[in-house]
Structure 1
Amino acid sequence: MTSFSDEDSNLVERAWKINRAKSIAMRPCRTFGMENHNKWVVVNAPTKEWALQVFPGQHEDKANELLWKYILHATKSNEANPVSAWEKQNCILKNKAKKLNDYQFSALHFVSEKTDLTVALVKNHVWLGGSETTKEGKGFMSNIPVEEVWTMPNKYHVDGYVTTTKPIILAGATIQNLKLFFKNGKVIRIEPKQQLLLDLLQTDEGARMLGEVALVSANSSIAKMGITFKSTLLDENAACHIALGQAYIDNLLNRSLIDEEELTELGMNKSAVHEDIMIGDSSLNVYGILEKERILIMENGEWSI
């Protein structure tokens, strides 16, 4: 399964209602992919329309040239040996994931001047980063580029508030500087009120609960570009983020031995949507919560472990 995104937000705006219905209709297919029944990859395909959104002051040809330049850099395609470069990046992310898995934190605490959010993690959660594995044991990269390590939150236990640090693109609209308030796992308030996001939350019960929490260095290769790409794939690899909606079952240990009822009890979220929301920047601290101590995982957006 290969997904190419051209980020034509005007088209997305016209098709908003259709896309909402499609999200629900395509849920079985989304679940099939997110459960890694087969290999899949998400990449960005630059277009002039998208380029002008990223570089609005440029002529369309120059904007397109710039976007291609940054995409090739982000995907390491301009490296002397791209495969070797990705193997090195994969090792770095696997190492971070291993350290986090060894701790088995009960929760994460995100803190900055504009964020104070506690996210419980499911029991026997698994941090992933870099390459993934299909049910048949075949390795693959699901996202190119990738700078994140991610795991499964407990959908019932998320409390506090977060402020977005990068725009959310919904139905062609750019939504910035939102504050989301959580109580007992659910989004209970958004400031300022944004109807497009409120509509997303109404998709199904799981749409207002978390399915993913991810850590990304504020000094990642994408973050250092200093560009808001208005593409979730790129922008999520420049900042720590959370995701409303569907969780990834591979973030659970011994996932094949757990039935549907147990998954619900553990706190795995299910939804027709999966919407990433960037919350990280150079002021964010992230703590891992253990029974008798707090471990500083990230300080001012940088890894501390």
Structure 2
Amino acid sequence: MYSFEQKLENYASLVVEVGANIQKDQVLYVSASIDAQALVRKISDKAYDAGARQVIVDWADDVLTKMRYEKAPADSFSDFPEWKVMERERLAEGGAAFVSIVSQSPDLLKDIDPSRIADAQKASGQALSNYRKMLQADRFSWSVIAAPSPDWAAKMFPELPREEQVPALWEAIFKAVRADVADPVNAWKDLDATLNDKADHLNKKAYRKLHYKAPGTDLTIELPKGHIWCGGGSVNVDGNPFMANMPTEEVFTVPHMSGVNGYVKNTKPLSYGGNIIDDFTLTFTDGKITDVSAGQGAEVLQRLIDTDEGAKRLGEVALVPHASPISESGLLFYNTLFDENASNHLAIGSAYSFCLEGGKTMSSNELEEHGLNQSITHVDFMIGSAEMDIDGILEDGTVEPVFRNGNWAF
């Protein structure tokens, strides 16, 4: 049994050595909530030990974030600071690594006018579109991780006394990222190998389509020619490996933007823009969302889909067995970083260009010609369950099982 301090040390080491994989003289940019101070300091210390030239920290605070949404002029949410765009782009062009630490309360903005949230999301998406393109082409190393906040912990563990909620969430995070084992770095190497084995199998099959069947779901997704299944780690333009998400249990690729037909129902709540969206069904015709229904957060979901034309189509297809560690924990995190790694999921919006042969060097027009969706947003939502079956359809029409009862069929 390891102490909290040892697990925090392990976590910070994983972020620096496996997640961002900091190189000598590299700049590290960290975005984090003030609730994550202890972790940020550990990461910074280990980054400098690894040879980092500088660690830049961009702090956020839920209280100030909500205050702005409540009190700032309505038209201010269409603004995004130009200096922030320049900072991100220039650091990315210079080979910096980026670590984002998510901590936000899932209900932070539940009482806020959805139009303010939509305007802010659209403004940041448009302003950072070039940065996102570089990110989705693996031009630089990046990693998304998490740290608790009191309100997020209270949402997850309402049955516990207040003083026990944050420690409980820390333990859940440590377990999910394998920071609680004797050799976390090798544990991640083993996971990477397992995910790559699944991706290799799917790449050899080169399925033309996937057909999803489950209660509330009957969906066919065409995959573009030359699509690549990825899993675990990525490699940046300098040839350095990194882990974009910690935790991760998925293998994923891109759908053809015009080849999605049928309907799909979510199986876990989606935390988006400080709101919870749940009990929703999306209907697709020739790739485009043509009907939307939701039991909770309907207006927020509709505004997400209306962000731009690309937000009406899919940009990612991801496979995660129901028997994954996060799913088997029985915990609902109300945070996509974790919940997407407990469930098959899809993403509304932009596609990752590295999931297409030659895609990393293609222009936006070339990517679109190959069937990859373009958007200023990318939002994952969970659709998997123990009742989901998925068939792979080969070019000659042969149908093969990929998932049965929520788990791999091979």
Pick the TM interval, shorter chain. Answer: over 0.9
Residue of structure 1 equivalent to 2:368: 264
Shift of 1:151: 0.2
Residue of structure 1 equivalent to 2:172: 70
The answer on 1:4 being equivalent to 2:80 is no
Gaps of 5+ in 2: 1-97
Shift of 1:35: 1.4
Residue of structure 2 equivalent to 1:238: 342
Q: 2:301 aligns with which of 172, 177, 197?
A: 197
Shift of 1:255: 2.1
Distance 2:121 2:243 in 1: 26
Aligned to 2:375, what secondary structure does the other structure show? coil
Shift of 1:10: 4.4
Shift of 1:257: 5.3
Aligned ranges for residues 1-305 of structure 1 at < 5 Å? 1-13=98-110, 14=112, 16=117, 17-192=119-294, 194-256=298-360, 258-290=362-394, 291-305=396-410
Distance 2:248 2:107 in 1: 26
TM-score normalised according to structure 2 size:
0.72
Aligned to 2:325, what secondary structure does the other structure show? coil
* Residues 224, 371 of structure 2: 8 Å contact kept: yes
* Residues 167, 174 of structure 1: 8 Å contact kept: yes
Tell me the number of residue pairs that the alignment of Structure 1 and Structure 2 aligns: 305
Distance 2:361 2:305 in 1: 31
Aligned to 2:351, what secondary structure does the other structure show? coil
RMSD: 1.4
* Residues 48, 61 of structure 1: 8 Å contact kept: no
Distance 2:106 2:342 in 1: 20
Aligned to 1:62, what secondary structure does the other structure show? helix
Deviates more, 1:134-143 or 1:278-287: 134-143
Aligned to 1:161, what secondary structure does the other structure show? strand
Residue of structure 1 equivalent to 2:11: none
* Residues 4, 43 of structure 1: 8 Å contact kept: yes
Percent identity between the aligned chains? Answer: 36
Distance 2:134 2:362 in 1: 17
Query: What amino acid maps onto 2:332 in structure 1?
Result: T
- Change beyond 3 A, Cα 1:184–1:292: closer
Shift of 1:171: 3.0
Distance 2:106 2:213 in 1: 32
Gaps of 5+ in 1: none
Distance 2:272 2:337 in 1: 14
Aligned to 2:317, what secondary structure does the other structure show? strand
Distance 2:276 2:363 in 1: 39
Query: What amino acid maps onto 1:49 in structure 2?
Result: D
**Greater RCO, CA 8 A, separation 6+:** 1
Shift of 1:196: 0.7
Give the number of the structure whose residues are more often helix, by fraction: 2
- Change beyond 3 A, Cα 1:261–1:31: closer
Query: What amino acid maps onto 2:277 in structure 1?
Result: I
Distance 1:283 1:160 in 2: 18
* Residues 349, 373 of structure 2: 8 Å contact kept: yes
TM-score normalised according to structure 1 size:
0.96
Shift of 1:29: 1.6
Shift of 1:135: 1.7
* Residues 46, 64 of structure 1: 8 Å contact kept: yes
Aligned to 1:9, what secondary structure does the other structure show? coil
Query: What amino acid maps onto 2:406 in structure 1?
Result: G
Shift of 1:256: 4.3
Deviations 1:84-136 (A, max 9, x none): 10010000000000000000000111011221000000110000000001122
Aligned to 1:153, what secondary structure does the other structure show? coil
- Change beyond 3 A, Cα 1:229–1:125: same
Shift of 1:227: 1.1
Distance 2:401 2:236 in 1: 32
